[in-house]
Structure 1
Amino acid sequence: MTSFSGYLPYAFALIIAIPFLVLLRQFVFTYIKLKEQEIKLLSIKSNSENKTQSYERMTLFLERLKPSNLIQKFDKGLAVHEFIFLTEKSINEEFEYNSSQQLYLTKNSWKNIVDSKNAVIDLLHKTYEGLSSSPNLDEFKTVFIMNYMNSEDYISATIEDLRREILIIA
């Protein structure tokens, strides 16, 4: 019996330590599980923020695409063909800069944005082709805006579609 009594303090310590080890193990697993959930939530939040920023950036692009804003961009001393060239170049550069935003937009929204961009560029060229031999820049800008106003307001419609989609996401 004396040999067993020498192990008694160790057995007592083991009996006390086992529940603490089980609780510690449970705590660590629970902590890891909560951290994984937190990471998932942060990634969802980050993705949602990216989507929101994409919709904001593309709305800004569309606002800049409106003819009333385009006509104010360049020096009044330009020839009409120079204005058209610089405006088209500016539109395409800004579009290319924002093209990565399509990752966060629906296919339909992206198609509408591309169609709006192409329609404005087409309107620039059609307005120029429809004018008399050599219009001055002010005449061209006036006719350009009038042609846009007399057609469907596809830019505002696209912006409204983006608004509806972002409300669904948010």
Structure 2
Amino acid sequence: MIESPYFPYAFALIIAAPFLIYTRQFVYNYIKLKNKELNLLTVKGQSEQRMHAYERITLFLERIKPANLVTKFDENLEAHEYLFLIEKTINEEFDYNASQQLYLTKNSWTKVVNCKNNILHLLHKTYENLSNESTLQDYKTVFLMNYINEQDYILACIEDLRKENLIIN
């Protein structure tokens, strides 16, 4: 038998080949499982963020309901001061929650913006229709009555958000 100088290398290669193949397969499967885990965590994180967005927008809508707005601020204010403070509060709250539009559908976000704008319009319309001798309490009463006489667009928007959230999740 002729012994070749390459025989030890060939023997080592034959012994090492299965080990290298199994190691490669293990690493490949490990990476594949980690990618699946990462994808699942990403989807879970997005649904949690979406749920949080619906909660924050619903809270915003609850806060701008006229029944909640009339309880804010001191009773000793003038109607125009109250109007200024309420408008400022609504706009600040809206600006704070504006980033949530990323997680809502375009239709839902449009409804939220319309609710905010309708409340601001109703606040101004009520103020313009009051006489100069009217008190803040008169203003608040007329504001509530004007809202009651209109369609409850805030409640409708909250219901739409609820339905949409159930469909998405």
Please classify the TM superposition score into its range, dividing by the shorter chain length. Answer: over 0.9
What SS does structure 1 have at the residue aligned with 2:132? coil
**Shift in alpha-carbon separation, 1:156–1:8, aligned structure 2, 3 A:** same
Q: TM-score, normalization: structure 1?
A: 0.92
Q: Give, in angstroms, the shift of residue 167 of structure 1.
A: 0.4
What SS does structure 2 have at the residue aligned with 1:3? coil
What SS does structure 1 have at the residue aligned with 2:100? helix
**Shift in alpha-carbon separation, 1:8–1:128, aligned structure 2, 3 A:** closer
RMSD of aligned Cα (Å): 1.8
Residue in 2 that maps onto 1:152: 151
What SS does structure 2 have at the residue aligned with 1:74? coil
Aligned: 1:3 with 2:13: no
**Shift in alpha-carbon separation, 1:6–1:36, aligned structure 2, 3 A:** closer
Q: Give, in angstroms, the shift of residue 66 of structure 1.
A: 0.1
d(CA) in 1 for partners of 2:48, 2:23: 37
| Amino acid across the alignment from 1:133 | N
| Amino acid across the alignment from 1:142 | T
d(CA) in 2 for partners of 1:46, 1:134: 55
d(CA) in 2 for partners of 1:138, 1:20: 85
Unaligned runs of 5+ in 1: none
Residue in 2 that maps onto 1:126: 125
Residue in 2 that maps onto 1:102: 101
Residue in 2 that maps onto 1:117: 116
- Render the CA deviation track for 1:17-40: whole Å, top value 9, x for unaligned: 322221111010011111111111
Unaligned runs of 5+ in 2: none
Structure 2 counterparts to residues 36-47 of structure 1, below 5 A: 36-47=35-46
Residue in 1 that maps onto 2:166: 167
d(CA) in 2 for partners of 1:134, 1:26: 85
d(CA) in 2 for partners of 1:2, 1:137: 112
d(CA) in 1 for partners of 2:9, 2:117: 85
For this pair of structures, how many residues does the alignment match?
169
| Amino acid across the alignment from 1:100 | S
What SS does structure 2 have at the residue aligned with 1:46? helix
Residue in 1 that maps onto 2:80: 81
d(CA) in 2 for partners of 1:134, 1:95: 32
**Shift in alpha-carbon separation, 1:6–1:167, aligned structure 2, 3 A:** closer
Q: Give, in angstroms, the shift of residue 46 of structure 1.
A: 1.4
